[in-house]
Amino acid sequence: MIEALRILLVEDDVLIGMMLVDMFDALGLPEPAQATTNEEALALIANEPLLGALVDINLGDEKGWPIADALAARDIPFAFTSGGGDVIPAEHAGRRLVSKPFRLNDIEAAIREFSA
């Protein structure tokens, strides 16, 4: 279905991250590269070839905008995730937003766009 490249999962909530990893498994996808902060995600983006990314907008006291900018600069497709109430900056307004609580089909649809 999808190449061997991994997907970056940026999520600061451990339980939600575990649930997403389970969803990846249910979809037959490889375990994602994972980050919980901008710093961790930016290091992975710089050092690992990625198929795409799911980026939580709210990472504790940080926003995921630097991650979105880095992914866009490298032409790596991505979608945002959020619990709601976030305004996406104009430069990323066309990106998919997957709302929490997640549904398997929404995650699958976002990931399918990465390999389209």
Q: Would 62 be classed as within a structural domain?
A: yes
Task: Check residue 87 and give its pLDDT.
Answer: 87
Does 3 score more than 80 pLDDT?
no
The domain of 50 spans 6-108
Q: For the residues of 73-85, what is the DSSP string, one character each?
A: HTT--EEEEESS-
Q: Would 87 be classed as within a structural domain?
A: yes
Q: pTM surpassing 0.85?
A: yes
Q: How many domains does the chain contain in total?
A: 1
The 10 Å Cβ neighbour count of residue 69 is: 14
Spatial distance between the Cα atoms of 114 and 111, rounded to a whole number of angstroms: 5
Q: Would 116 be classed as within a structural domain?
A: no
Q: Would 74 be classed as within a structural domain?
A: yes
CATH classification at residue 98: 3.40.50.2300
Q: Would 31 be classed as within a structural domain?
A: yes
Q: Would 114 be classed as within a structural domain?
A: no
b/e 10-23 (16+ beta carbons within 10 angstroms → b): bbbbeebbeebbeb
Q: Of the candidates 71, 70, 10, 7, which has an alpha carbon nearest to the alpha carbon of residue 36? A: 10
Task: Check residue 2 and give its pLDDT.
Answer: 45
Q: Would 115 be classed as within a structural domain?
A: no
Does 1 score more than 60 pLDDT?
no
Task: Check residue 77 and give its pLDDT.
Answer: 97
Does 12 score more than 60 pLDDT?
yes
Tell me how far apart the terminal alpha carbons of the chain are, to the nearest angstrom. 11
Q: Give tens-digit pLDDT for 30-74.
A: 999 999 999 999 999 999 999 999 999 999 999 999 999 999 999
Q: Would 42 be classed as within a structural domain?
A: yes
